[in-house]
Amino acid sequence: MPSSSFRDLRVWQEAMRLTGEIYKGTSGFPKHEIYGLSQQMRRAAVSIPSNIAEGKGHHSDKEFVHFLFHARGSLLELETQLMIAKELQYLSKAEADRQLALAEGVGRALSGLINSLRVRAA
């Protein structure tokens, strides 16, 4: 990986976009969810670009991949929470499906970056 900034990574940019959408989407959740599902979704979403950035700051591809796996774990957690929010009708089907599609895009980008770094390290 060249010494570019984490801000230059497409996967980080997509994760930031997803995080913004999660914040917007959860703002309409019922008040009783302010410390429940809404907060969990926001934390999982924030964890994705944060882990990408933290991993990029490490000095080896192996360490970077470790943080990318953490980001992927948070992404899978968020996808599950989106499905719960959809089931509870806290998000409309259209909004949940749109956010899930964004999450899937981030997942594909994460997998691609992980695979490229693992091949390079081999």
- Note whether residue 110 is domain-resident: yes
CATH code of 84's domain: 1.20.1440.60
Give the percent of the chain with pLDDT over 90.
Answer: 90
Give the global pTM: 0.94
Per residue in 24-55, is it b (16+ CB within 10 Å) or e — as a string? ebbeebeeebeeebbebbbebbbbbbbbbbbb
pLDDT at 122: 67
Q: What is the mean pLDDT of residues 29-39?
A: 95
pLDDT at 4: 85
- Note whether residue 2 is domain-resident: no
- Note whether residue 32 is domain-resident: yes
pLDDT at 119: 85
Residue 15: give the domain boundaries.
Answer: 11-121
70-116: pLDDT as tens digits: 999 999 999 999 999 999 999 999 999 999 999 999 999 999 999 99
- Note whether residue 84 is domain-resident: yes
- Note whether residue 79 is domain-resident: yes
- Note whether residue 96 is domain-resident: yes
Residue 19: pLDDT over 80: yes
The total of structural domains in the chain comes to 1
- Note whether residue 5 is domain-resident: no
